[in-house]
Chain A
Amino acid sequence: MAAPLDNGALFVAIGAVPGAWLRFRVVNHFEPMLPRKHWGTFGVNLIACFAIGLLVSLEGSCGLAAGRTLLLLATGFLGSFSTFSTWIAELHATLHQRQRREAVLLCGGSVLGGLLAVGAGLAIGGS
């Protein structure tokens, strides 16, 4: 394995820490204001979807974000900011509690909302 600086691991790691911190703090901060905690995770994931669409389109249209910038911001920061595991665990909890409406809203809202957010990011970035 090459040195961390050569293979980009440092960029991924440096992006990952604030990404995870921000997710942790945002979800905790909004928890008392939301009817259910999972809407905090939902919000975090949708913001990350918009941002990754924007980043990828900026890379495609004007080369603003490339190589190590993408490792830092997309793989490191946004990859850690957004989460699949907590989302599925929370979805499982709503299903387990037989809250079908809430589960459908969380699942459908996340997938459709995520696609719309990525699409908005891509469009604003010019692709």
Chain B
Amino acid sequence: MAPFPSESPPTLRREARDLLLVAAGAVPGALLRWRLEDVGKGLEGVPTGLIEADLVANLLGTFLIGVIAGLRPPRPRLILLGGIGFCGSLTTFSSWMLEISLALRRGRPDEALAVVLVSLLGGLAVVTLGLAVGRRLGRSRLRR
């Protein structure tokens, strides 16, 4: 690619590149979440299957965002593609809250509380693990 002339800052080009990176991550992320929902529905009864499938997508994406955030030095393009695009789209807050809200409406506060706690504590555990893995990967790259 030709070097960008220094007198015109490449803001538009950079913005287009950033949006392209986010989109390139978002499509496979959303498709994987959708496939995981289908797998969950196939395995069990619809409500629990849905809840568990969201949990799998959310925990997987949370682990991966930890890995990406743990890498040193920070990788800005990987953050856009993998973090904001892929992990951001693979994981979802709205469906998680909808499931909790529907469980409460069914008169199952125990189920709602379980979904909140498992997702929250599981999420904090896997992001911690991911950060540790990311830092380790960063170190081994430096050693090589």
Task: Give me the interface of A with B, judged by CB distance under 8 Å.
Answer: 8-9, 12-13, 15-17, 19-21, 23-24, 45, 48-49, 51-53, 56, 71, 74-76, 78-89, 91-92, 95, 107, 110-111, 114-115, 117-119, 122
Chain B neighbourhood of A79, CB < 8 A: 30, 33-34, 89, 92, 94-95
The answer to whether B97 touches A21 (Cβ under 8 A) is no
The answer to whether B124 touches A16 (Cβ under 8 A) is no
Chain A neighbourhood of B31, CB < 8 A: 9, 12-13, 16
Task: Give me the interface of B with A, judged by CB distance under 8 Å.
Answer: 18-19, 22-23, 25-27, 29-31, 33-34, 37, 58, 61-62, 64-66, 69, 80, 83-85, 87-98, 100-101, 104, 116, 119-120, 123-124, 127-128, 131
Chain B neighbourhood of A118, CB < 8 A: 94, 97-98, 100-101
Is chain A's binding surface mostly helix, strand, loop or mixed? helix
Chain B neighbourhood of A48, CB < 8 A: 93-94
